[in-house]
Amino acid sequence: MLKRLTVRNLAVVENAEATFASGLNVLTGETGAGKSVLMDALGLVLGGRADASVVRGGAKEAEVEADFGDAVLRRTITAQGRSRAWINDESVAVSELRDFGRTRVDMHGPTASQRLVEETFQREALDGFGDVSLSAGSGGKRGYAAVWSEWTGLRSELDALVSDTGEDELDMLRYQVSEIEDAGLTEDDETLAERHAAAAHAEELVEDANAVTEALGGDQSAAAILIQLQPRFRTMARHLPAAAEWAVEAEELTGRVQDLSRAVADAVSALDAGSEDLEALDKRLTLVNRLKRKYGATVAEILGSLEKRKSRLDALEHREERIAELRERIAVAERELRAAGAELTSRRRSAAARLAKAVTASLRDLGFLQAKFGISLEPSEPTAHGCDRVVFMFAPNPGEPDRPLAAVASSGEIARVMLALKGVLAAHDSAEVLVFDEIDANIGGEAGRAVGEKLRAVAQRRQVIAITHLPQSAVYGDRHLVVSKAVSGGRTRTKISAVEGEERVKEVARMLGGDKMTSVVRKHAEELLYLSR
């Protein structure tokens, strides 16, 4: 539930705060006072698009904060157009605000109601009402979405094979695969450069190593001297305890020097300064370096490149067989797809009958006593959403045939159809907050009262926030907020106040008669409030 909305320096609003209750919250006020700005603010804090133009003139930045009880969302937009977002004071991407809004808030305004005539909205509304899932299957069969994914994947692979003959590529691939395979690369080839360098300087290395081992193992070597010192350390240890540690350290050093001498001797003994081995290494290094320049920086990369080329070569050499196989698999997948599509259509048809009946009944509550709402499922070629098109049908007057809603409904009628639909879908929607911005536009009188009753009915399951110009609708609010404006210091400032009792009577009277606060208007306002209880 939305508990509080705070707006600072947004358009005409300098600093305003609205607190909301459960049930139906209505916002009223004079035209231009800033009611729609509040809805724009809610859209911004839920991740809507923003630019520098929304910032109040002279301010450095605009800020909107929405408190949902378990989460506080905040967003700022600077005068330079930069935007930042937070959830519970933790910096987040604006997309995270959008993700939050999709699950918690459903907004409908004068333009949003036009979504009702869009095919995507109509299909999603029907599927949501009927719990129709593209991914669900029955009887152990896969769902439509999985079959669609396989079918389209196979078709894409076939199209690629048919358009790509690869004739010019075959000879080149065969040569490249042969060149790499003939080289017989192994992990040992990674050390070729080191081995080549060692072989090229073998004589120098042997000479230096011999000098090292002779120095390490001679009579005057460090090891020999340390061995000679061992008795001295032991004698000293009788009177100087630290000498015992020196003796141990000297013994360790002796072992390390001897180990070093053996390591040098072993390494050099493996060197062979023969010209034949050096020549073989030179040729091998030249070959490997050439392959690295063509196919990869390391032996592992070259071998990886080989596998890719072999796979591509195999695909091209068996292209016709693969095309035939794909065509067979596509035919099987298409039969499965159409069967899954038929099952999807059947479930939609069952849901459509129930939804049409419920919406028609809801429309009667909204003043369409003779209107009829229907849903048509028109066959279509398979798409990602099934094998049918969902079309909302409407007949506002008796004796007229059903026609697509978009072709026959006026803006006022569409707004009421949207409200009727939302009333029916309220039990199926995940959104806990429904926002209606002038959904009762272009209607009045008895129809306005019916809209107010429907809004209150919907608000029994969800928190509803509704901006309205109709007193007949506004009187049904559980909480009534008035948005007003005043000029101070040469600037227009917006204020939001909750009204009750006498103040609410005055606001409803203003909505009825404007500036003409007559006793008749006042009495009418009181009657409307009384009848709405």
In the β-sheet with 61-67, what is the strand arrangement from edge to edge? 13-19, 4-10, 61-67, 72-78, 83-87, 90-92
Tokens 């569409």 locate to 414
Residues 1-109+438-498, CATH architecture: 3-Layer(aba) Sandwich (3.40)
Distance CA 44, CA 420 (A): 27
Judge whether 180 and 301 are in contact, CB under 8 Å: no
Judge whether 216 and 223 are in contact, CB under 8 Å: yes
Distance CA 483, CA 40 (A): 14
pTM attached to this predicted model: 0.63
pLDDT of residue 513: 77
| β 61-67/4-10 pair status | antiparallel
- Comparing CA positions, the residue from 26, 23, 21, 29 lying closest to residue 4 is 21
How many Cβ atoms sit within 10 Å of the Cβ of residue 191? 11
Helix (H) or strand (E) holding 62: strand 61-67
- Comparing CA positions, the residue from 485, 365, 347 lying closest to residue 424 is 365
Coil, helix or strand for 195? helix
pLDDT of residue 228: 76
Judge whether 14 and 61 are in contact, CB under 8 Å: no
Read off the tokens for 529.
Answer: 């409030």
- Comparing CA positions, the residue from 425, 409, 216, 186 lying closest to residue 298 is 186
pLDDT of residue 275: 43
Sequence-distant (≥ 6) Cβ neighbours of residue 20 within 8 angstroms: 1, 2, 3, 4, 5, 463, 465, 479, 481
pLDDT of residue 274: 46
Judge whether 441 and 110 are in contact, CB under 8 Å: yes
How many Cβ atoms sit within 10 Å of the Cβ of residue 359? 26
Sequence-distant (≥ 6) Cβ neighbours of residue 392 within 8 angstroms: 116, 117, 122, 373, 374, 375, 404, 405, 417
Please, where in the chain does CATH 3.40.50.300 lie? 1-109+438-498
Per run of 10 residues, the mean pLDDT along the chain (length 533 residues) is: 92 88 92 79 89 88 93 93 92 92 79 72 91 84 93 92 75 89 85 73 66 64 73 80 81 79 73 60 85 88 90 84 92 95 95 94 84 93 95 86 79 77 78 81 73 88 89 93 81 84 92 77 88 83
- Comparing CA positions, the residue from 68, 73, 99, 102 lying closest to residue 85 is 73
H helices of 201-274, where? 202-217, 222-236, 242-269
Distance CA 494, CA 480 (A): 16
